[in-house]
C-alpha cells in the first residue's frame, strides 16, 4: 500500500502568531461547496495541520484585482475578512509570483489593498488598507450575569466588540469572552471580543477572543484595527498606535483621512503535503 498518494501542497503562515494554512487553488480546483469541510479537517489539532484558519487563493474575475481568496475559520465558518491573514496572503502571493509587492485582492468584505515592504526599517512587514469601518457604536450597556458592562462596537471587515480595561492580564477571557460573543445584542452574527489596556496615546495592550476559533488567539488584525478606531473615537489615542498582542507581537494601526491601515509581520513558516484520505477529504 502506498500511503504517499492523493496529496496536495500547502503553505503554513503566521501573522503575529495568528496562523493559517494556505492552498493555491488556481489549478487544484477545490469547489467552494467543499471548502468549509476542508477548513475543519485541515485546521484540526492533532488530526490535521492545526491552524486558526484556512484560505484558498484563486484567480479574480475583476482585472483590477491580482487574485481573490476564500477565507474560513478553523470551525468551518466563512469570514468576510481577517487582517492578519490578509497580510499573509499579500506576502505569499508576492513570493510565488501571483502579485506585485503592491496590489489589491478580493475578499467577501470588498477589495483589500496591500503593500509588501521590501526595504527600510520595516522590511518584510506588510501594510494593508482595510475596508471602511461600519456600524460604529460606543458606550453600549450590556448585562453580563446581572452586572452592567460598557462595551464599544465596530465592524472592520468582521464585527468586533472592544472592552477597555485597567489590566488585560486579569481578564478571564475564556469566561467573559463567550458571554459577550454570544450576547443577544450582537445576534445573530455574534461578535469577536477584544480586551484593551491603554498605556499611553500611542500604545495599547490587546487580547482577543475570536469568533469562529472560539478561543483566545495570539493576535487579531481586524481586532487591533477596531480597538484603535474606537480608542481614537473616545479620545484615548492619537491617529496611530502600536498594539502589543498576546503573542507579544506588535501591530500598528494608522487612521488616515477616514481610512484604516494595518501593518505587521507575516511569515512563511513551512510548506508541506496534505494527504487527503486520512483527513477524510477528496478532490
Active site residues: 82, 220
The answer to whether 25 is a known ligand-binding residue is no
The answer to whether 211 is a known ligand-binding residue is yes
Rounded (5°) CA angle 251-253-255: 180
Distance of CA 260 to the CA centre of its chain: 15
The answer to whether 181 is a known ligand-binding residue is no
The answer to whether 257 is a known ligand-binding residue is no
Cell reading at 162: 472592544
Q: In sequence order, which residues have a C-beta less than 8 Å from that of residue 16 and are 6 or more positions away?
A: 84, 218, 219, 221, 245, 247, 249, 250, 251, 264, 265
Cell reading at 267: 511569515
The answer to whether 212 is a known ligand-binding residue is no
SS3 89: helix
Residues 36 and 78: beta-carbon distance below 8 Å = yes
C-alpha to C-alpha distance for 215 and 272, rounded to whole angstroms: 26
* Pairing verdict, β 68-73 and 203-210: unpaired
The answer to whether 83 is a known ligand-binding residue is yes
* Pairing verdict, β 134-144 and 147-155: antiparallel
The answer to whether 202 is a known ligand-binding residue is no
C-alpha to C-alpha distance for 276 and 37, rounded to whole angstroms: 12
Binding site members: 18, 73, 83-84, 192, 210-211, 221-222
Residue positions forming the annotated binding site for substrate: 18, 73, 83-84, 192, 210-211, 221-222
Amino acid at each position: 500500500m502506498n500511503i504517499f498518494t492523493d496529496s496536495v501542497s500547502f503553505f503554513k503562515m503566521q501573522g503575529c502568531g495568528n496562523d493559517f494554512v494556505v492552498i493555491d487553488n488556481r489549478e487544484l480546483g477545490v469547489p467552494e461547496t467543499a471548502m468549509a469541510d476542508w477548513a475543519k479537517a485541515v485546521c484540526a489539532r492533532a488530526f490535521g495541520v492545526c491552524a486558526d484558519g484556512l484560505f484558498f487563493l484563486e484567480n479574480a474575475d475583476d482585472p483590477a484585482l491580482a487574485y481573490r481568496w476564500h477565507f474560513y475559520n478553523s470551525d468551518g465558518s466563512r469570514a468576510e475578512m481577517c487582517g492578519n491573514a490578509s497580510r499573509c496572503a499579500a506576502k505569499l502571493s508576492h513570493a510565488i509570483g501571483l502579485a506585485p509587492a503592491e496590489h489589491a485582492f478580493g475578499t467577501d468584505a470588498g477589495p483589500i489593498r496591500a503593500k509588501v515592504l521590501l526595504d527600510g526599517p520595516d522590511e518584510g512587514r506588510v501594510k494593508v488598507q482595510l475596508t471602511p469601518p461600519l456600524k460604529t457604536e460606543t458606550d453600549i450597556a450590556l448585562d453580563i450575569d446581572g452586572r452592567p458592562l460598557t462595551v464599544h462596537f465596530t465592524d472592520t471587515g468582521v464585527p468586533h466588540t472592544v472592552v477597555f480595561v485597567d489590566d488585560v492580564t486579569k481578564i478571564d477571557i475564556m469566561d467573559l469572552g463567550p458571554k459577550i460573543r454570544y450576547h443577544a445584542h450582537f445576534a445573530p452574527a455574534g461578535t469577536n471580543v477584544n480586551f484593551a489596556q491603554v498605556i499611553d496615546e500611542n500604545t495599547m495592550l490587546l487580547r482577543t477572543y475570536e469568533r469562529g476559533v472560539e478561543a483566545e488567539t495570539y493576535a487579531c488584525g481586524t481586532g487591533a484595527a477596531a480597538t484603535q478606531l474606537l480608542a481614537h473615537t473616545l479620545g484615548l489615542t492619537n491617529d496611530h498606535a502600536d498594539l502589543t498582542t498576546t503573542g507579544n507581537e506588535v501591530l500598528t494601526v494608522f487612521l488616515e483621512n477616514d481610512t484604516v491601515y494595518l501593518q505587521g509581520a507575516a511569515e512563511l513558516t513551512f510548506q508541506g503535503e496534505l494527504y487527503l484520505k486520512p483527513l477524510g477529504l477528496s478532490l
